[in-house]
């Protein structure tokens, strides 16, 4: 119960008010023990009040392992830990007025994962002594999932599910800057589905879309490392960024990529390169100096891709400065 100069009637009224609030709410005493665990909090967490009242076990409602809740940080004055524990937060200049945070909670007893908006603030008596800390919770899971879905859509190609041109542009710029600083190799593979217009004309645009999805999946599977990126560049063109990849490594990936598409065994009876769907790959693999821009890397890979097409398609060509030569040829 609330102590000090609050009358018993006022205490009972405050407790009943909090217990029946529609907002999930719990209250800690100055020692960090649960004083109130309202019915809305029970419904949210599937943890009954009698299980946590008088204990410091309220964390079990939200996490699988012991860790501080926001109210614990306020009670103990450990606000320096908020960055580590919460995905987002807003602390006022005077923390004792209140604090707001957001975080994913595991909710083990409710068997669900929720994104919670949390508001927390202390209660003082007339002498200015902290007598309780109140934490209220709001389930924002649907809103958060919608935000993440929109963010994902902004960076993914709608047809293939691969990262889109925007994601590629952002990644290439970042990877190029890193390679320039570290003086490391950076590889860009530019891939084009051979004779794709003829494929669409022969099999129809729906079949063409299905073909691009299969090619995209095969391309994506070749981006094996966490730092690699496979993306749809546009139309029937795909790109793969390979940071810190040597020319030998780039050759292996590009050759494996050609083989993967060939092994799909998708019929293409009007292709002039093979009896099935194939791709041509242009490779730019350089240690970039500070003068190299992302557009330069793309132009190098595009020149190499042009050479692959001129030499019969269904093969890999490397960009070599100052002249362009076919460094690797893969005819399947």
pLDDT score, position 48: 96
Residues near 228 by beta carbon (within 8 Å), at least 6 away in sequence: 222, 240, 241, 242, 243
Q: What is the 3-state secondary structure (H, E, C) of 84-135?
A: HHCCEEEECCCCCCCEEEEEEECCCCCCCCEEEEEEEEEEECCCCCEEEEEE
- The pTM of the full predicted model, rounded to 2 decimals, is 0.60
Note the CATH architecture for domain 156-318: 2-Layer Sandwich (3.30)
Tokens of residue 116, six digits: 């919670």
- Asked if 313 contacts 273 with a C-beta cutoff of 8 angstroms, the reply is yes
- Residue ranges of the chain assigned to CATH 3.30.450.20: 8-145
In the DSSP assignment, the letter for residue 79 is: G
Tokens of residue 184, six digits: 């490391």
- Residue ranges of the chain assigned to CATH 3.30.70.270: 156-318
Q: Residue 280: name the closest of 250, 302, 264 by CA.
A: 302
Per the residue annotation, which of 42, 135, 236, 303 is the catalytic one?
236
pLDDT score, position 28: 96
Q: Residue 158 to residues 147, 162, 164, 189, 223: CA-CA distances in angstroms?
A: 17, 8, 8, 21, 19
Is there a catalytic annotation at residue 236? yes
Pairing of strands 279-286, 316-318: parallel
Residues near 26 by beta carbon (within 8 Å), at least 6 away in sequence: 34, 36, 37, 38, 41, 52, 58, 71, 134, 135
| CA gap 72, 331 in Å, rounded | 66
Element (H, E) at 139: strand 130-139
pLDDT score, position 19: 76
CATH of 8-145 given 3.30.450.20, 1.10.260.40, 3.40.1050.10, 3.40.228.10:
3.30.450.20
Per-residue pLDDT of the chain (332 residues; tens, 9 = 90+): 444 445 666 666 666 777 778 999 999 999 999 999 999 999 999 999 999 999 999 999 999 999 999 999 999 999 889 999 998 887 654 444 689 999 999 999 999 999 999 999 999 988 889 999 999 999 999 998 888 777 767 789 989 999 999 999 999 999 999 999 999 999 999 999 999 999 999 999 999 999 999 999 999 999 999 899 999 999 999 999 999 999 999 999 999 999 999 999 999 999 999 999 999 999 999 999 999 999 999 999 999 999 999 999 999 999 975 433 434 444 45
Strands (E), 169-293: 186-193, 229-234, 237-243, 279-286
| CA gap 247, 319 in Å, rounded | 11
Q: Is 137 helix (H, G, I), strand (E, B) or coil?
A: strand
What are the b/e assignments for 233-250, b being 16+ CB within 10 Å? beebbbbbbbbbbebeeb
């Amino acid at each position: 119960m609330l102590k000090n100069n609050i009358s018993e009637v006022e205490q009972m009224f405050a407790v009943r008010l909090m217990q029946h609030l529609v907002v999930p709410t719990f209250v800690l005493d100055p020692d960090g023990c649960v004083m109130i665990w309202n019915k809305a909090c029970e419904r949210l967490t599937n943890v009954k009040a009698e299980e946590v009242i008088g204990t410091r076990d309220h964390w079990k409602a939200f996490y699988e392992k012991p860790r501080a809740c926001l109210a614990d940080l306020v009670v103990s004055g450990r606000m320096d830990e908020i960055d580590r524990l919460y995905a987002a937060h807003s602390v006022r200049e005077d923390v004792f007025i209140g604090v707001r945070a957001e975080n994913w909670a595991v909710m083990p007893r409710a068997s669900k994962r929720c994104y919670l908006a949390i508001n927390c603030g202390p209660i003082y008596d007339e002498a200015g002594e902290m007598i309780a800390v109140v934490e209220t919770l709001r389930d924002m899971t649907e809103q958060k999932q919608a935000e993440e879905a929109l963010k994902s859509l902004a960076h993914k190609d709608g047809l293939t599910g691969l990262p889109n041109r925007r994601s590629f542009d952002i990644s290439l710029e970042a990877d190029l800057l890193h390679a320039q600083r570290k003086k490391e190799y950076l590889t860009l593979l530019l891939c084009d589905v051979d004779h794709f217009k003829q494929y669409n004309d022969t099999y129809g645009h729906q079949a063409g879309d299905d073909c691009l999805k299969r090619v995209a999946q095969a391309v994506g599977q070749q981006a094996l490392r966490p730092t690699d990126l496979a993306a749809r560049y546009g139309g029937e063109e795909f790109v793969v960024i390979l940071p810190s990849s040597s020319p030998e490594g780039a050759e292996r990936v590009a050759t494996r990529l050609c083989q993967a598409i060939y092994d799909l065994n998708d019929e293409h009876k009007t292709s002039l390169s093979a009896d099935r769907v194939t791709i041509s790959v242009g490779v730019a693999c350089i240690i970039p100096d500070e003068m190299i821009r992302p557009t330069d890397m793309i132009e190098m890979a595009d020149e190499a891709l042009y050479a692959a097409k001129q030499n019969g398609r269904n093969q890999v060509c490397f960009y070599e400065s100052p002249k362009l030569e076919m460094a690797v040829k893969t005819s399947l």
